[in-house]
Chains A and B, each alone.
Chain A
């Protein structure tokens, strides 16, 4: 187990190194930032001077090594525009993103588990079609459009919920609803097929042969055993939600990672982009490791080696 962890952490470090390199290379490929940072009236000499001050006139390999050395010290540089530590600017956005990601993920998964268990308990094909059809319909509407409609209905027409910003718990409702309902059908399909898979297993027949009721067989045997196939997919989804949801954050003016990253990219604010990408990659790697550890915890046949 400790050996396994060391191996996984080693892999994670390598992944993060690759992400940093990509961030660096792709960033430099877009050119030097000073032209965008200075007003149009700036002279070429001024632009060149600023580029030089930011270190862009050094040879590329020197820039790269300086960058890596700084990152190792935890220094991602200062935002070109906001004159604050890039890492601090990213960290500031994390609570909002985590809050949105966590609740959206939880609600989507919960709704899907409820729907899938209802399908199994009733054995109704109509119910299955209804959930999958309805979920697919919602999924096929782009999130930004659904978000606008939801905002129109609940904020503008009914005045029940705030449509912008992160000011109160009620602010969460519309963004969470948008993401959760969009992901619902993915989970329903996944859980339903996992459950149907389990339903045909011999051990389920054994459970019935003991005189166990349908509901208990579902909840104590089939559902726990369906977690494994669902877990991987759910982990990937959670990872990408935690990395920030650009569209939904933009529509609802949610002050999350997605928002700050897109702004930074368009402004060529490299320190923020680099810090942001590293944090997102770190989240992904952590969630994946957690998924594997949980899978090993659930399935006694899996040995971590």
Chain B
């Protein structure tokens, strides 16, 4: 990792993940490509089963047994994680790459004190610390995520913690070594609605303090609007659209994105039927040859092109109204640090066509 490296922090290129099936391998993630830049929050959005979690588990090299990376590259600071030997990977995991999982109720070892589990994370990448220093570090990590009485709490067991507090502990654990990339896999989904916002604030604050980039996996578009800089929308194992968060919400280019946005309940929908995309996503083994979204698409019905050919993720011209950094070379931070280059892209033969019709009359 040279200091002159100027590419994106993380570059996932054509990542394909397969699982062994009865009739040969099944592609769960199919040619996913995206970049995550220094300092940005990159949201990965999609329904359950769209491959978001597998994609980030592949980045961490924590895929479940039987599931493997079939092809593609995962460049982290220019190094291909998919080719890295396990010993090297272990040095990155928990230090430069850290992850916060969905369910804090099960992500902590129920038989070990929380402090001990944090100490394990601390000591793994800082071997020189003695017991006292490790304990101090654990307490300061817990204090930093807003856990009251860190000394007392560290000595207690996970079942004595509430869900929100446990997720704070998980965040503290992930931030132990100020990781370059923090991955949060639906960090608030399993929590009470009342503490979701608090935990997101803690996460955002911890990330900002450490200067980490973050991949935020969620299906909560409200969360995306609040927290993310850029978004990739996944559908049936593929990325169907990537865009800056403002562009995505103001002018979705892919009909699936438009459908997602339209289905969000707004102020005007009380008493009315919420919009729902008809049908359900295809199983990974039965993905159609053409566009995987075609059977559910209001644009694609009856169009031969959609059933015949799989649309590739292609760069779109940026509307002049929101021309943020469309033509900038990769890796150069945008002056205001909020938006990043990379442009917007969609995987649709008719990208942008009349998606707004769907949103008309639908508060977003």
Given known pairs A300-B157, A301-B157, A301-B159, the reply for A209 and B99 (CB within 8 Å) is yes
Chain B nearest Cβ from A242, distance in angstroms: 28
- Is A211 part of the contact surface with B, judged by Cβ < 8 Å? yes
The residue in B92, B124, B157 that gathers the most chain A C-beta atoms within 10 A of its C-beta is B124
Given known pairs A202-B101, A206-B101, the reply for A211 and B111 (CB within 8 Å) is no
Given known pairs A202-B107, A300-B159, the reply for A211 and B91 (CB within 8 Å) is yes
Given known pairs A206-B170, A210-B173, A213-B90, the reply for A299 and B120 (CB within 8 Å) is no
Partner of A212, one of B98, B110, B124: B124
Q: Tell me whether B124 and A205 are in contact (CB under 8 A).
A: no
For the residues of A in contact with B, the DSSP-based class is helix
Chain A nearest Cβ from B26, distance in angstroms: 20
Could you say which residues of chain B place their CB within 8 Å of the CB of A205? Answer: 62, 101, 107
- Is B153 part of the contact surface with A, judged by Cβ < 8 Å? no
List A residues 219-239 near B (Cβ within 8 Å).
Answer: 220-221, 224-225
Partner of A210, one of B103, B111, B124, B159: B124
In the complex formed, the residue of B with least CB distance to A224 is: B111
Given known pairs A203-B106, A300-B159, the reply for A208 and B111 (CB within 8 Å) is no
In the complex formed, the residue of A with least CB distance to B98 is: A209
Q: Tell me whether B90 and A211 are in contact (CB under 8 A).
A: yes
Q: Tell me whether B111 and A299 are in contact (CB under 8 A).
A: yes
In the complex formed, the residue of B with least CB distance to A220 is: B120
Contact digits for A279-299, partner B, Cβ 8 Å, 1 yes 0 no: 000000000000000000011
- Is B180 part of the contact surface with A, judged by Cβ < 8 Å? no
Chain A nearest Cβ from B55, distance in angstroms: 15
| Bound CA–CA A264/B157 (angstroms) | 52
Q: What is the size category of the interface that chain A forms with chain B?
A: 20 to 34
Chain B nearest Cβ from A204, distance in angstroms: 8
- Is B125 part of the contact surface with A, judged by Cβ < 8 Å? yes
| Bound CA–CA A221/B112 (angstroms) | 9
Chain A nearest Cβ from B41, distance in angstroms: 20
- Is A30 part of the contact surface with B, judged by Cβ < 8 Å? no
- Is B137 part of the contact surface with A, judged by Cβ < 8 Å? no
Chain A nearest Cβ from B151, distance in angstroms: 18
Q: Tell me whether B93 and A202 are in contact (CB under 8 A).
A: no
| Bound CA–CA A213/B173 (angstroms) | 17
- Is A126 part of the contact surface with B, judged by Cβ < 8 Å? no
Q: Tell me whether B157 and A225 are in contact (CB under 8 A).
A: no
Contact digits for B56-93, partner A, Cβ 8 Å, 1 yes 0 no: 00001010100000000000000000000000001111
Chain B nearest Cβ from A224, distance in angstroms: 6
Contact digits for B169-188, partner A, Cβ 8 Å, 1 yes 0 no: 01001101000000000000
| Bound CA–CA A208/B60 (angstroms) | 9
In the complex formed, the residue of A with least CB distance to B93 is: A211
In the complex formed, the residue of B with least CB distance to A204 is: B109
- Is B94 part of the contact surface with A, judged by Cβ < 8 Å? yes
Q: Tell me whether B93 and A208 are in contact (CB under 8 A).
A: yes
Given known pairs A209-B60, A212-B120, A301-B159, the reply for A203 and B107 (CB within 8 Å) is yes
- Is A167 part of the contact surface with B, judged by Cβ < 8 Å? no
Could you say which residues of chain A place their CB within 8 Å of the CB of B174? Answer: 209
Chain A nearest Cβ from B50, distance in angstroms: 20
Q: Tell me whether B110 and A301 are in contact (CB under 8 A).
A: yes
- Is A201 part of the contact surface with B, judged by Cβ < 8 Å? yes
| Bound CA–CA A300/B156 (angstroms) | 9
Given known pairs A206-B170, A210-B94, A212-B124, the reply for A300 and B111 (CB within 8 Å) is yes
The residue in B92, B108, B109, B125 that gathers the most chain A C-beta atoms within 10 A of its C-beta is B109
Q: Tell me whether B103 and A211 are in contact (CB under 8 A).
A: no
| Bound CA–CA A300/B155 (angstroms) | 12
Q: Tell me whether B125 and A211 are in contact (CB under 8 A).
A: yes
Could you say which residues of chain B place their CB within 8 Å of the CB of A208? Answer: 62, 93
- Is B344 part of the contact surface with A, judged by Cβ < 8 Å? no
Contact digits for B219-254, partner A, Cβ 8 Å, 1 yes 0 no: 000000000000000000000000000000000000
- Is B43 part of the contact surface with A, judged by Cβ < 8 Å? no
Given A206-B109, A301-B110, A301-B157, 8 other A-B contacts at CB below 8 A? A202-B101, A202-B106, A206-B170, A206-B173, A212-B90, A225-B111, A300-B157, A300-B159
Between A and B, 13 residue pairs with Cβ closer than 8 Å are A201-B106, A203-B106, A205-B62, A205-B107, A206-B173, A207-B109, A209-B98, A209-B101, A210-B94, A212-B124, A220-B120, A221-B112, A300-B111
CB-based closest 7 A-B pairs: A211-B94, A210-B94, A202-B106, A211-B93, A300-B157, A203-B109, A210-B121
